[in-house]
Structure 1
Amino acid sequence: MPAPQPVDPCPPKRLQSAVIADTLEAEIIAGTLPSGSKLDEQALANRFGASRTPVREALQLLASRSLAERVPYRGVIVAQITRERIDMLFETMGEIEATCGRLAAERMTMSERAALEELHQSMGDMAARGAHEAYEQANTQFHTLIFEGAHNAELLAVANGLRLKLAPFRKSQLKASERMKRSAEEHDAIVTAILERNAKGAEKALRRHLLSAARAVLASMG
């Protein structure tokens, strides 16, 4: 596997639908758009100065992240986000990532291990600088390398599906500098175990990492 590419400091302009989806996502996570709120296409098009097509695509993105749902006779509404649901998502993701980590420690090629270590080192610098956005992007890449390192296509598909549902919550908790630094420290234990081919150690470190992330998200909900 080729070495990870550095995060582009000047990324290309994002699709309007992605920008709209991210804005609405942040408002849903913050509670500005409470559960049950109707997401009207025309009203949103007027708000963002867009046509209904990118708004419709944005709502589809929110639905794929389980933040919105289409209800008969009501249209698209904000999904209910409870502590219990978040807890179950993190619990499931913790077990999936732990399994990926155990297999990755056994199956990763030398080039894959080198790419993971290089990315981890660059993320330590991002955390030290407080580069939240760059760290969040790299964090997705970090966990993807572990998923792919398990070399199991079915497990990869399950892990990626869960990642999409949890992405908004993992992103929100990484905005806190202390949590970002703690995340980098937890990654160190994960990378060390994988590099040493310590399957049980990698499994344990990833399970603890997801537990730590869950605690941060639940604490932010009050």
Structure 2
Amino acid sequence: MLKTEREQTRCGQDFVDGVHGLSHGDLQRHAMQQYCMQFLISACQNVVRHCTNHECMPCLRWAVAGSMIIRVVNETVEMTSSNKQTQTDKLAAEIGDAILSGVLAPGTRLDEHRLAEQYAVSRTPVREAIRSLAATGLVELRPRRSAVVAEITPAQLEIMFVAMGELEATCARLSAMSMTPIERRRLQSQHERMGALVESDDVAGFIEANLIFHALIYAGSHNSILADMAVGLRRRLGPYRRAQFRSPGRLPRSHAEHERIMQAIVSGDAAAAHAAMLNHVSLVEDTFIGLTATRAA
């Protein structure tokens, strides 16, 4: 039904009411806290709520526009959060590499100001990176004092790698039994893409692709508890697993190990998948230990 001019004017007023639906106090609070994105979402939600109550075309258009704005803003917020996390992850990886390479020796005090200047970032990502490294055991947090580089004994590292091997091997075995045809094709495609990274000797690209390869196997187990445990322990071993790729010739060897894992999973051979993954994680540990021994010598 077409609305009268008066009713359409009222619809326009509803739109205005929607935009200004937040009180002045709300607006001031949002501005003070710089939550501009959240305010925009709230305003658009009011627009949608007001305008969807009417049937005239202008209101329907405003309702659709408001919904689109909400979606775009939410995607922007997620992207911003993702970028921030990426910066923290990158910084944690660089500091972790400095620790594992011996540049930052055990007991070294990690000064946030100095690290922020060194890596040309603010103190916030430095603080978050240090917390992330503390979760891996590379850094020791001390109450009311600066964090320091921790000393990890070979025995502690061996315990973590043994646990990681068993978890990943079980994920591989279950993936061989439970993966859908689409999941198997995804794993195969990821492995094939990694071949090009080996050919170009793209270590950084291979490290990122390696995370995806293993994540596909965790997900393919169709056991969320086991997958969460594997992700958590892998995060703790992350710096050590990245470091082993600096060993000469490690990329093609790792890719060959992945080939055996992938073939076993795709063919549904659970026992072979378990054995191949267990062997792979053991070789990762051996490579890292060999790398550190060479540097120590």
TM-score (structure 2 length as normaliser): 0.67
> Could you tell me how far apart the structure 1 residues matched to 2:148 and 2:202 are?
33
Q: For the structure 1 residues 85 and 114, does the alpha-carbon distance in structure 2 shift closer, same or farther, using more than 3 Å as the test?
A: same
* 8 Å contact kept, 1:190–1:205: yes
Give the direction of change, closer, same or farther, for the CA distance of 1:206–1:43 in structure 2 (3 Å limit).
same
Q: Which residue of 2 aligns with 1:135?
A: 206
Q: Deviations over 1:6-47 (max 9, x none)?
A: xxxxxx898543443222111101111111211122232333
My pick for the range that moved more, 45-54 or 89-98, is 45-54
Question: Matches of 2:166 and 2:279 in 1, distance apart?
Answer: 10
RMSD of aligned residue pairs (Cα, Å): 1.8
2:99 match: 28
Which has the higher Rg, Structure 1 or Structure 2? 2
Aligned length: 211
Q: 1:215 to 1:51 in 2, by over 3 A?
A: same
Give ranges in structure 1 of 5+ residues lacking alignment.
1-11
Partner of 1:181: 252
| Kept after mapping to 2: 8 A contact 1:127/1:177 | no
The residue aligned with 1:169 is 240
Structure with larger RCO (C-alpha < 8 A, sep 6+): 1
- Give the SS at the match of 2:109: coil
* 2:169 match: 98
% identity of equivalent residues: 37
Q: 1:172–1:217: 8 Å Cα contact kept in structure 2?
A: yes
Summarize deviations over 1:86-110 as a string: whole Å, max 9, x none.
Answer: 2211111000001001100000000
What is the DSSP-based 3-state SS (H/G/I as helix, E as strand, rest coil) of the residue aligned with 2:152?
Answer: coil
2:154 pairs, out of 68, 83, 86, with: 83
Helix, strand or coil: the match of 1:221? helix
Q: What's the TM-score, normalizing by structure 1?
A: 0.88
Distance 1:113 1:15 in 2: 28
**Contact 1:130–1:177 (8 Å) recurs in 2:** no
More helix by share: 2
Give the Cα separation in 1 of the matches to 2:218 and 2:120: 39
